[in-house]
């Protein structure tokens, strides 16, 4: 038996349509730029108030979504003031 952090194969990876993890950041635009420099591709969804890869919602957050190598949906998000 391996350690708790061991990776394992599964047929379920990347099958969820919901975001699996969010990271709260201080500057979403800077994080997107840095991740793009590392070849991360951001998702574009048909949503109100979406500007390219980023979405501003009614709760005053700016969020950008991307997928990991297994197809899981991940995001960086920044709270913004009114």
What's the CATH number where 41 sits?
3.10.180.10
DSSP helix/strand/coil, 30: helix
Query: What is the total count of domains within the chain?
Result: 1
Contacts of 32 (CB under 8 A, 6+ apart): 42, 53, 54, 64, 76
- Determine contact, residues 43/65, Cβ cutoff 8 Å: yes
pLDDT at residue 37 in the model? 97
Mind listing the pLDDT tens digit for each residue in 10-38? 676 667 777 778 899 999 889 999 999 99
14 inside domain: no
Residue-range definition of the domain harbouring residue 26 = 19-79
**HSE-up of 41 (CA within 13 Å, CB side)?**
6
- Determine contact, residues 77/28, Cβ cutoff 8 Å: yes
35 inside domain: yes
Res 1 pLDDT > 60: no
3 inside domain: no
54 inside domain: yes
pTM: 0.69
């Amino acid at each position: 038996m391996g350690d708790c952090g061991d990776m394992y194969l599964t047929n379920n990876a990347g099958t969820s349509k919901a975001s699996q993890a969010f990271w709260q950041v201080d500057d979403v635009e800077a994080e997107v730029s840095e991740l793009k420099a590392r070849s991360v591709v951001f998702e574009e969804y048909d949503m109100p108030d979406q500007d390219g890869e980023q979405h501003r919602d009614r709760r005053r957050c700016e969020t950008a979504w991307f997928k990991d190598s297994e197809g899981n949906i991940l995001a960086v998000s920044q709270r913004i003031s009114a």
